[in-house]
């Protein structure tokens, strides 16, 4: 067996994420008020042990708001807020005129608050907005922090070199790649750096990628799940990939997996309002410090759960990262772009 075959076999035999048998865990039928769909929830483990999902809920106008669901075990018996937890407020925040979507939650110990980065759907397209909360009841809104077109954002839980760091996905003339930006006060952002580029050609993550759940801090680096979007004759396929970034210089990619690690396979992922989508915006880590509960939107219709292990993801990356990545990037660098210094 040559090396390539061995790597492909390892993936097929042992999927890195195992779907929960009770999936989907939340869908329209569970909601206490009329909605169209529930998907792409941010997640966090609360101090009382509850898992909180801040769900994107699409109402029957087609516009989204955020609604919290809590569960003692993170699997079932979800208690859903009786009305929207964070609704768009276009009077004061006109950028939210067409709703708010896809929250990523980061607990920030220094502020003793949760930072919720979400998409605000404005007349100019999607932008990144930020709100802080202590209790998921009241929120301090910061408004738009990254102007359109931008989305798929999450704050890192601690400062990097004295500055806050935000991962996001602007669409620029260069394409739809993952960037990281820095700020002293969470309001003014600069030092923008490209973090991970969409590949090209026939790759599963060609042309358009974005952050999924907030990165997980490990001794080896920021372990990061991202999505890649494959355009096909019958629509897009959203799949998940893995990358590892330097702890103190997170714009430096240490490893990037070649193949996707999770993709739409079962009925609730393959068909729904948007076919063939798995889209995690959050995870929680088990008491063993290793188990990952990955919460993901399926087919833009419901919420599902898959379980993995930090240790297994890191060793899979060791086995499967592409040594060609650096060479490919150099060859394909757009004119006028400098490589970040290493
Ligand atoms: C992306 C986001 C997600 C959505 C996905 C598939 O661009 O808007 O909210 O789940 O498309 O429709």
Query: What is the CA(331)–ligand 1 centre distance, in A?
Result: 30
Confidence of residue 14 (pLDDT cuts 50, 70, 90): confident
Number of domains present in the structure of the chain: 1
Numbers of helices and strands, H then E, in the chain: 4, 22
Q: What pLDDT sits at residue 315?
A: 97
Answer yes or no: is pLDDT of 144 > 90: yes
Q: What is the pLDDT of residues 222-266, one digit of tens each?
A: 999 999 999 999 999 999 999 999 999 999 999 999 999 999 999
Q: Cα(312)–Cα(290) distance, rounded to whole angstroms?
A: 9
Query: What is the CA(188)–ligand 1 centre distance, in A?
Result: 27
Answer yes or no: is pLDDT of 327 > 60: no
- Supply the pTM of this predicted model: 0.92
Q: Cα(88)–Cα(163) distance, rounded to whole angstroms?
A: 29
* Cα Dmax for the chain: 63
Q: What pLDDT sits at residue 321?
A: 84
Answer yes or no: is pLDDT of 183 > 70: yes
| Residues 230/237, Cβ–Cβ less than 8 Å | yes
Q: What is the pLDDT of residues 71-96, one digit of tens each?
A: 999 999 999 999 999 999 999 999 99
Q: Is residue 280 part of a domain?
A: yes
Alpha helix ranges (H) inside the chain: 3-13, 267-270, 310-320, 325-332
Decide which of 10 and 272 is more confident: 272
228: nearest Cα among 195, 206, 201:
206
Q: What is the pLDDT of residues 199-227, one digit of tens each?
A: 999 999 999 999 999 999 999 999 999 99
Q: Is residue 64 part of a domain?
A: yes
Q: Is residue 338 part of a domain?
A: no
Q: Is residue 9 part of a domain?
A: no
Q: Domain containing 53: what range?
A: 18-332
Q: What pLDDT sits at residue 293?
A: 98
282: nearest Cα among 187, 171, 155:
155
Tell me the three state secondary structure of residue 313.
Answer: helix
User: Cα 165 to chain center, whole Å?
Assistant: 15
Q: Is residue 7 part of a domain?
A: no
Q: Cα(86)–Cα(70) distance, rounded to whole angstroms?
A: 15
Residue ranges of E strands in 72-186: 79-80, 100-108, 113-122, 125-133, 139-146, 150-155, 164-172, 175-176, 178-183
Protein residues whose CB sits closer than 6 Å to any atom of ligand 1 = 40, 101-102, 238, 274, 277, 279, 297, 300
Residue to probe by mutation, ligand 1, list 277, 301, 303, most atoms within 8 Å of CB: 277
Backbone dihedral region of 87: left (phi > 0), alpha (psi from -120 to 50 degrees) or beta? Answer: beta
Query: What is the CA(5)–ligand 1 centre distance, in A?
Result: 33
Query: What is the CA(39)–ligand 1 centre distance, in A?
Result: 10
| Residues 96/120, Cβ–Cβ less than 8 Å | yes
Q: Which helix (H) or strand (E) holds 255?
A: strand 253-256
Q: Is residue 103 part of a domain?
A: yes
Q: What pLDDT sits at residue 297?
A: 99
Q: Is residue 3 part of a domain?
A: no
| Residues 150/126, Cβ–Cβ less than 8 Å | yes
Tell me the three state secondary structure of residue 28.
Answer: helix
Decide which of 317 and 331 is more confident: 317
Side by side, the strands of the sheet bearing 37-45 are 37-45, 51-58, 64-71, 79-80
Q: Is residue 1 part of a domain?
A: no
Q: What pLDDT sits at residue 325?
A: 53
CA angle, residues 59, 30, 45, in degrees to nearest 5: 95
Answer yes or no: is pLDDT of 336 > 80: no
Residue 189: CATH number of its domain: 2.115.10.20
Report the mean per-residue pLDDT for the chain.
Answer: 92
Q: Which atom of ligand 1 is nearest to the CA of 279?
A: 10
Answer yes or no: is pLDDT of 186 > 60: yes
């Amino acid at each position: 067996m040559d090396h390539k075959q061995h790597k492909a076999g390892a993936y097929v035999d042992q999927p890195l994420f195992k779907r929960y048998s009770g999936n989907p865990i939340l869908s329209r039928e569970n909601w206490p008020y009329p909605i169209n769909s529930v998907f792409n929830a941010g997640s966090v483990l609360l101090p009382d042990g509850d898992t909180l999902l801040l769900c994107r809920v699409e109402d029957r106008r087609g516009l989204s708001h955020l609604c919290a669901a809590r569960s003692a075990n993170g699997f079932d018996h979800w208690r859903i807020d009786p009305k929207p937890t964070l609704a768009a407020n276009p009077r004061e925040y006109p950028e939210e005129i067409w709703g708010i979507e896809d929250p990523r939650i980061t607990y920030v110990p220094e502020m003793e608050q949760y930072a919720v980065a979400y998409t605000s759907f404005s007349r100019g397209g999607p932008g990144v907005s930020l709100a802080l909360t202590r209790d998921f009841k009241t929120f301090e809104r910061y408004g738009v922090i990254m102007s359109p077109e931008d989305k798929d954002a999450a704050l890192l839980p601690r400062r990097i070199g004295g500055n806050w760091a935000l991962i996001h996905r602007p669409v620029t003339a260069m394409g739809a790649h993952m960037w990281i930006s820095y700020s002293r006060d969470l309001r003014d952002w600069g030092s923008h750096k490209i973090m991970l580029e969409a590949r090209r050609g026939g790759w599963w993550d060609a042309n358009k990628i974005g952050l999924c759940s907030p990165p997980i801090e490990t001794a080896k680096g920021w372990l990061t799940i991202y999505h890649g979007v494959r355009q096909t004759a019958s629509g897009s396929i959203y799949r998940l990939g893995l990358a590892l970034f330097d702890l103190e210089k997170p714009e430096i990619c240490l490893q990037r997996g070649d193949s996707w690690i999770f993709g739409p396979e079962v009925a609730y992922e393959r068909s729904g309002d948007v076919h063939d989508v798995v889209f995690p915006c959050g995870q929680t880590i088990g008491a063993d410090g290793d188990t990952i509960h990955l919460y993901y939107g399926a087919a833009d219709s419901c919420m599902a759960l898959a379980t993995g292990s930090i240790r297994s993801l890191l060793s899979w990356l060791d086995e499967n990262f592409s040594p060609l990545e650096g060479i490919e990037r150099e060859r394909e660098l757009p004119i006028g772009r400098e490589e970040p210094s290493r």
